[in-house]
Chain A
Amino acid sequence: MTGLEFVFVLIAALTLFSAVMVVTTPNMVRAALWLILALFGVAGTFVLLNAAFLAVVQVVVYIGAIAVLMIFAIMLTRKVMKDSGPQTNSTWGLAALIAAALFGGLTFALTRSPAATLMAPDFSTVSDPVAELGRALVSPQAYVIPFEVASVLLLAAMIGAIYVAWKK
């Protein structure tokens, strides 16, 4: 096992453990803190995949904004759901069965696919992926339309969120 593989297994194990804790911990504030650890693990995976820009965006957007927003919402709604009460609904067994079946099916299909044994090409052949990504996001030949549509979606969601949460 090479050093890179060892680091990957370490990060993957940490991320999956934190994810399991997110969905099973009764205490919601602790679940949010486990979520932050899982998001850091995903950022580490991006670093392993040579996507440095996305790793930074992951930390800034997911951990800096989304996780903090989650903690705010948990604290604002905290007193109604006591941590001692049941946190899972009556069909959690069926949910676990569906999730396990999905994982089994995906693993079965993925290990059989010809792409599974693909090895990563040499990274040094690319000039600068961050500059490449920046050009692709504003170039009319590439992804300027999806990028602008995402911006409009974000604006609409922001206005909608303010309207929905407004105290009438």
Chain B
Amino acid sequence: MPLSWYLIFAAALFSIGLYGVLSRRNAVAILMGIELMLNAVNINLVAFWRYSDLASIAGQAFAVVVFAVAAAEVAVGLALVIAVYRRRETVAADEINLMKW
């Protein structure tokens, strides 16, 4: 099957994640959208590795780095959500607007 199948699948997954990030009010749901987007990026990286030079392992190595960054992002993000919840009693992103211009 041609490479474009994987790329279009990843593009669809990325767009769905982007919609989730832009539209959801719950901060944890926004983090879930970011996870979907990172997964779409990983599919692209691995697909490009599989469809180009198999000997150069760059695509998989970068996918491993993306895994580490995703874990770091979700740990800090959820810690922030918990800290905000403790102080403000809310996790709705549009009510956390103290630092908004």
Binding site for B on A (CB under 8 A): 2, 4-5, 8, 12, 15-16, 19-20, 22-23, 28, 31-32, 35, 38-39, 42, 45-46, 49-51, 53-54, 57-58, 61-62, 65-66, 69-70, 72-74, 76-77, 80-81, 86-89, 91-92, 94-96, 98-100, 102-103, 106-107, 110-111, 113, 115-121, 123, 125-126, 129, 132-133, 136-137, 142-143, 146-147, 150-151, 153-154, 156-158, 160-162, 164-165, 167
Distance of A74 from chain B, by nearest CB (Å): 5
Please tell me if the beta carbons of B20 and A22 are within 8 angstroms of each other in the complex.
yes
Q: Are B64 and A137 in contact (CB under 8 A)?
A: yes
**B19 A73 Cβ-Cβ under 8 A:** no
**Least Cβ distance of B84 to chain A in Å?**
9
Cα A147 to Cα B57 with chains together (Å): 13
5 pairs from A and B in contact (CB 8 Å cutoff): A20-B16, A87-B29, A110-B8, A132-B55, A165-B82
A147-B35 Cα distance, complex, nearest whole Å: 20
> Interface size of B by Cβ–Cβ distance < 8 Å?
74
Interface SS, A side:
helix
B51-87 residues with Cβ-Cβ distance < 8 A to A are 51-52, 54-55, 57-58, 60-65, 67-76, 78-83, 85-86
Is the beta-carbon distance between A31 and B32 smaller than 8 angstroms?
A: yes
B80 to chain A, nearest CB (A): 6
Q: How far is the CB of B13 from chain A (nearest CB, A)?
A: 6
Given contacts A110-B4, A117-B2, 13 further A-B contacts (CB under 8 A): A28-B26, A31-B32, A35-B36, A45-B9, A74-B28, A77-B81, A95-B19, A103-B15, A117-B4, A121-B54, A136-B60, A136-B61, A137-B61
Central interface residue in A31, A46, A49, A116, by most chain B CB within 10 Å? A49
